[in-house]
Amino acid sequence: MATQKKAVALISGGLDSLLAAKVMLEQGVHVEGINFYTGFCVEGHTHAIRKKDKLKPKRNNALWSAETLGIKLHIIDIIEEYKDVLINPKHGYGANMNPCLDCKIFMVGKAKEWAIENGFDFIITGEVIGQRPMSQRKDTMPVISAESGADDLLLRPLCAQNLPETKPEREGWVNRDELYDFSGRTRKPQMALAEKFGFDDYAQPAGGCCFLTDKAYSVKLTDLWASRGQRDYEIDDIMLLKVGRHIRPRPTFKLIIAREEGENNFLQGYKKQFTTLRTMSHKGPLTLLDGSATEEELKLAAQIVARFSQGREANSVDVEVTKNGVSQNFSVKPLAADEVLEQWRV
């Protein structure tokens, strides 16, 4: 009896990777999932920070996919290693700060390393030719295979019939005739296959699975780098880019102003790391000051924060500014709406 072959599947939590893994399971392959956490994944519960979203289900779709498939899922923290992918992408960025091609090369390469360490035979992804403008094109898919080092151990079950034979097909580990020939941006073949497999509750993320494809997020990241004079980040930086209003009234500092209670609670966790501003005489948002500000600039910051408090129409609002555990109080007149300049908003 032939030994059961083992495939590691890149599981994003979306439909395509779910289907690709299912196709392999149907062929009798032992499949385990791998999911990489870059810090920019929408899959995280970062949208759950906002209170209004707490009513929505908070399932992690990669875990849901694995449970639906009945396979194990290994979630790998690649936050540190991913910095080089984002900061120095060999193949450049997509429409925003998304280094999609380098990202996929990196992840497939990591999956190959994992496969070797854990005795797996090949790697599968849910890629479909023409599905994505950067990483899933006929000309870039061979680049991923080659530059990741996976070469012909990388099988894309959903579009394999449009691609040269891989080792799993040549060796008879999988039956090429039972793989698929999907191509293009249409989702109809995937939806039909999902129906065939009885999947009806799969994730359909509107903006992809990565914050780096989001224009507003990319603008904030670019601003962060420009303000620091270097392209680098820590995990807290990229988390905070997802939260609050970001207002940069001076090049040396920006304000991160909570928009509602959930964000207020989240920002509380950063009070020790940042200068904070709180309105004392009126209800208002917790605000972090990222960077450094002179006394005069602190007063300006207080006026901006007062603008976003319930005292916005008052003649004077008391604002407490705390830095390194030491507080000082400002009584300021809130800025008028048109005094919070549009170009300050990041």
Q: Which is nearer to other proteins, 25 or 143 (CB)?
A: 25
Residues in contact with other proteins, shown as a per-residue x/- string from 258 to 297 under the rule CB under 8 A:
-----------x----------------------------
Nearest distance from C-beta of residue 66 to other proteins, angstroms: 5
Q: Which is nearer to other proteins, 49 or 332 (CB)?
A: 49
Q: Which is nearer to other proteins, 80 or 171 (CB)?
A: 80
Work out the widest C-alpha separation in the chain, in whole angstroms: 84
Could you tell me how many residues of this chain bind other proteins (CB under 8 A)?
Answer: 28
Residue with tokens 């966790």: 269
Within 132-270, strands assigned E span 154-155, 245-250, 253-257
Q: Which is nearer to other proteins, 67 or 178 (CB)?
A: 67
Sign of CA dihedral 332, 336, 339, 342: positive
Nearest distance from C-beta of residue 342 to other proteins, angstroms: 31
Nearest distance from C-beta of residue 124 to other proteins, angstroms: 18
Q: Using CA atoms, how far apart are residues 324 and 187, in angstroms rounded to an integer?
A: 53
SS3 257: strand
Q: Restricting to residues 34-93, name those near other proteins by CB under 8 A.
A: 35, 37, 41, 43-46, 48-49, 54, 57-60, 62-64, 66-67, 71-77
Q: Which is nearer to other proteins, 74 or 323 (CB)?
A: 74
Q: Cβ distance 306 to 284 under 8 Å?
A: yes
Nearest distance from C-beta of residue 69 to other proteins, angstroms: 9
CB atoms within 10 A of CB 73: 19
The gap from C-alpha 215 to its chain's centroid, in whole angstroms, comes to 13
Nearest distance from C-beta of residue 266 to other proteins, angstroms: 9
Q: Which is nearer to other proteins, 40 or 182 (CB)?
A: 40
Contacts 24+ apart (CB under 8 A), 327-334: 328/298, 329/280, 330/298, 330/299, 330/302, 332/299, 332/302, 332/303, 332/306, 333/303, 333/306, 334/303, 334/306, 334/307, 334/309
Nearest distance from C-beta of residue 151 to other proteins, angstroms: 29
Nearest distance from C-beta of residue 199 to other proteins, angstroms: 17
Q: Which is nearer to other proteins, 57 or 198 (CB)?
A: 57
Give contact residues for other proteins (rule: CB under 8 A): 35, 37, 41, 43-46, 48-49, 54, 57-60, 62-64, 66-67, 71-77, 239, 269
